[in-house]
Amino acid sequence: MADRPPAATTAAPSTVFDKIWDAHLVKRLDDGRDLVFVDRHVLQETTSAQAFDGLARAGRAVRHAELTVATQDHIVSTAPGRDEATNPAGRELLGLMRTNARAHGIPLFGVDDRRQGIVHVIGPELGLALPGSLLACGDSHTSTVGGLGALGIGVGTSEVEHVLATQTLAMTRPRNMRVTFEGAVEPGVTAKDLILHTIGALGTAAGQGSAVEYAGAAIRRLPVEARLTLCNMSIELGARLGLVAPDEATVAYVRNREFAPTGSALAEAARYWLGLRTDADAMFGQEFTIDCSRIAPQVTWGTSPQDVAGIDAAVPDPASFADAKRRELAAAALRYMGLEPGTRLAGLPIDVAFIGSCTNGRLSDLEAAAAVIQGRRVAPTVRALVVPGSTAVKRAAEAIGLDRVFRAAGFEWRDAGCSLCVSVNEDTVPPGARCLATSNRNFENRQGPRSRTHLASPAMVAAAAIAGRIVDVRREPAP
Amino acid sequence: MTPFVQLTGFMAAMPLANINTDAIIPSAWLRSMTADLAAGLFAGYRFDEAGRERPDFVLNRPPFRTARILLADENFGCGSSREAAVWALARFGIRCVLAPSFADIFYENAFRNGLLAGKLDPATFAALLAEVDRHADNPVFTVDLPSTTIMGPDGIARRFAVPASRAEALIRGDDEIESTLRHAGDIAAFHRAARTTRNWLYPGVRNLGETA
């Protein structure tokens, strides 16, 4: 007798990504894409001006100004005491953002606001990004908010315009991908090292078209701010977004944030958030496992985040890559970076040390860096900058005296903004100079024409600023 | 959006993987609404520090100075979401990029600006690269969107991939916002329903920008 098919049961096992996505699905469009509702739309000044311009030319209104906020971060000067008038390079775009925000009733956290900061830092910090929500922003690193279990979708300017006009995105549904971290993380190894190592192992295109869930005991143990760092660089893995399922740590992080729910609304929300987890039998299009116990502090040697190695390693010989294209890319990267194969990463002299950005500009990042430099001095050959990710981070750091630690060591203590991550502002690395940075991209010319960027964690950058060269923070003598 | 049906012009090859949007349009061109994006296209590759053209860069060599089609390698357009990367290509005159794969945000940005991003299988990529090389003096190609074919000097028709719905939207020159606004009723209904099931997520009259 033939087996009968099982009776229809409950919904098929699904991933945390699927659950959140389905909760935002307005409808499936005729062309196969999904129309999804955007709970929060966050604007920054370099990718929104043309969107407002397009909106005006088409005579369209902003559909949900109450779900939209704006901040100024990319082009702003981070010189202490700056204001909108002391931003000559950015005056046009800063002014347009102010005008547009006012015209459409969108709150603006501008350079003079206590809530100003890098868009991906203030989203979680203010409770604008919430677990289980879908947040869009005209910036690729919107994936950062995945650290809270939110879907953070980075878009271009025409999609910013689309969200302004419709409060939705029309998107191909991302595929499910999971990276599971096994083993224990060694002391001195941070979320930044985990994600750099992962990008090195899988490549910058591995996540194309995917929503990446980071899972495993090591991830559960990461504080929420570290999860934000991890998810931040999902875009460098090629993914549409990254996320970590919410847990009790997430709920604790969200509590008491300025725009987060309170009281019974928070209790109701928390129940919902804690139910957002991947079912045991859920299927992923791609699955990878990373052994944490083998990861050393990471430093990039080339011009793509995948050009990365442990601090114990040497600059690779391009000939060592099996793939011909990779050989060619590595050779070009070494020419640009002024490096010879076989040179130890530890010992490379640096000219600039940059601590900040949406990757590593939160309070815990500054604390980690300050712990390394306590009572020591920046090498005389190094320009060292600390740029808090938000004005609130700056205030919080000052409240516990971190600014004094940095200043006493010879670091510049600057106002909040994107600063040396993107060099669309006043802050640049001089031609040919070598910078160790906590940011997310080491592309050619990223920090200024002919700048040479190496990426690492805040503690590694702090240690290098003191030593004047890249060093293994784990081997640095205690002060 | 300017419709795209068929395009004939010089094809320039930049067979490098992972060309990022910082390279396509450097940050110096992002500081103003009125920057000359055509001049900024691949500026780090096209010009030296003194602003002189680098003679060995493909777009500085005839006939590629007037290229309309760009042949690139894997993961083209990775990195920043900056749509100015697409605008710079378009202002320079390039309306079609062919590559084995594209970064997601670049891919979305391209179609919204009438730039065709056609995907190639590895064999087609290699064959086109060789054909551009063989006909470097006159590398004229025709990209036909309705038939998803590329016809080159060798007279061989090769295929590229593009989702049918995107091709149709590009051929019609659809305004995507207009298309989405046809679902305004569904969007409003979704928001009403979501406010009952996840009310904690949607501020009522309270504006997000005002202090609680």
Residue B209 is predicted with a pLDDT of 62
Tell me what the mean pLDDT of segment A37-59 comes to. 97
Residue A348 backbone dihedrals phi, psi, to 5 degrees: -65, 125
- Which chain A residues touch B104 with a CB distance below 8 Å? 208-209, 238-240
Contact A134, A150 (CB under 8 A): yes
The residue among A477, A381, A378 whose CA lies nearest residue A433 is A381
> Among all residues of chain B, which has the CA nearest to that of A129?
B201
Task: Note whether B32 contacts A170, CB cutoff 8 Å.
Answer: no
Task: Note whether B80 contacts A444, CB cutoff 8 Å.
Answer: no
Task: Note whether A69 contacts B209, CB cutoff 8 Å.
Answer: yes
Of the partner residues A158, A266, A325, the one whose CB lies closest to the CB of residue B112: A158
Chain A contact present for B156, CB below 8 A: no
DSSP string, chain B: ----SEEEEEEEEE--TT-BHHHHS-GGGGS-TT--HHHHTTHHHHB-TTS-B-TTSGGGSTTGGG--EEEE-TTBTBS---THHHHHHHHHT--EEEES-B-HHHHHHHHHTT-EEEE--HHHHHHHHHHHHHTTTS-EEEEETTTTEEE-TT--EEE-B--HHHHHHHHHT--HHHHHHTTHHHHHHHHHHHHHHSGGGS-SSS-TTS--
Task: Note whether A157 contacts B190, CB cutoff 8 Å.
Answer: no
Tell me the C-alpha distance between A93 and B166, whole Å. 32
Contact B101, B78 (CB under 8 A): no
Residues 48 through 77 of chain B touching chain A, CB cutoff 8 Å: 49, 73-75
Report residue A2's pLDDT band, with 50, 70 and 90 as the boundaries: very low
Q: What percent of chain B clears pLDDT 70, i.e. is strictly above it?
A: 96
What would the two tokens of residue A398 be? 């000052």
Report residue A140's pLDDT band, with 50, 70 and 90 as the boundaries: very high
Work out the minimum CA distance from B194 to partner chain A, whole angstroms: 8
- Which chain B residues touch A323 with a CB distance below 8 Å? none
- Which chain B residues touch A429 with a CB distance below 8 Å? none
Of the partner residues B169, B181, B211, the one whose CB lies closest to the CB of residue A166: B181
What would the two tokens of residue A195 be? 């994600």
Task: Note whether B104 contacts A208, CB cutoff 8 Å.
Answer: yes
Task: Note whether A31 contacts B211, CB cutoff 8 Å.
Answer: no
Answer whether residue A126 shows pLDDT above 90: yes
Give A468-479 pLDDT, tens digit per residue.
Answer: 999 999 997 654
- Which chain A residues touch B27 with a CB distance below 8 Å? 422-424, 446
Cβ within 8 Å of residue B57, ≥6 positions away: B42, B45, B46
Work out the minimum CA distance from A333 to partner chain B, whole angstroms: 12
The residue among A447, A453, A17, A457 whose CA lies nearest residue A197 is A457
Task: Note whether B27 contacts A449, CB cutoff 8 Å.
Answer: no
Tell me what the mean pLDDT of segment A272-299 comes to. 97
Looking at the DSSP bridge assignments, the partners of residue A243 are A213
Contact A290, A194 (CB under 8 A): yes
Residue B204 is predicted with a pLDDT of 61
The residue among B95, B88, B73, B84 whose CA lies nearest residue B19 is B73
Give A330-388 pLDDT, tens digit per residue.
Answer: 999 999 999 999 999 999 999 999 999 999 999 999 999 999 998 999 999 999 999 99
Work out the minimum CA distance from B108 to partner chain A, whole angstroms: 8
Answer whether residue A1 shows pLDDT above 60: no
Residue A11 is predicted with a pLDDT of 73
Contact A429, A448 (CB under 8 A): yes
Residue B149 is predicted with a pLDDT of 98
Task: Note whether B83 contacts A449, CB cutoff 8 Å.
Answer: no
The residue among B177, B112, B84 whose CA lies nearest residue A59 is B177
Distances (CA, A) of B174 to A469, B4, B147, B165: 54, 10, 19, 11
> Among all residues of chain A, which has the CA nearest to that of B175?
A162
Residue B153 is predicted with a pLDDT of 98
Cβ within 8 Å of residue A247, ≥6 positions away: A220, A274
Task: Note whether A329 contacts B18, CB cutoff 8 Å.
Answer: yes
Give the A:B interface size as CB pairs under 8 Å. Answer: 209
Report residue A89's pLDDT band, with 50, 70 and 90 as the boundaries: confident
What would the two tokens of residue B161 be? 């991939």
Of B105, B165, B199, which to mutate for an interface test with A (greatest number of A Cβ within 10 Å)? B105
Work out the minimum CA distance from B39 to partner chain A, whole angstroms: 16
Give A19-29 pLDDT, tens digit per residue.
Answer: 999 999 999 99
Among the residues of A174-280, which ranges form H helices? 191-202, 217-220, 224-232, 248-254, 263-274
Q: What percent of chain A clears pLDDT 90, i.e. is strictly above it?
A: 94
Residue B9 is predicted with a pLDDT of 98
Task: Note whether B31 contacts A90, CB cutoff 8 Å.
Answer: yes
Residues 13 through 32 of chain B touching chain A, CB cutoff 8 Å: 16-18, 20, 22-23, 26-28, 30-32
> Among all residues of chain B, which has the CA nearest to that of A107?
B209
Q: What percent of chain A clears pLDDT 70, i.e. is strictly above it?
A: 97
Residue spans of chain B under pLDDT 50: 205, 211-212
End-to-end CA gap in chain B? 42
Chain A contact present for B161, CB below 8 A: no
Chain A contact present for B113, CB below 8 A: yes
Task: Note whether A68 contacts B23, CB cutoff 8 Å.
Answer: no
Tell me what the mean pLDDT of segment A55-81 comes to. 96
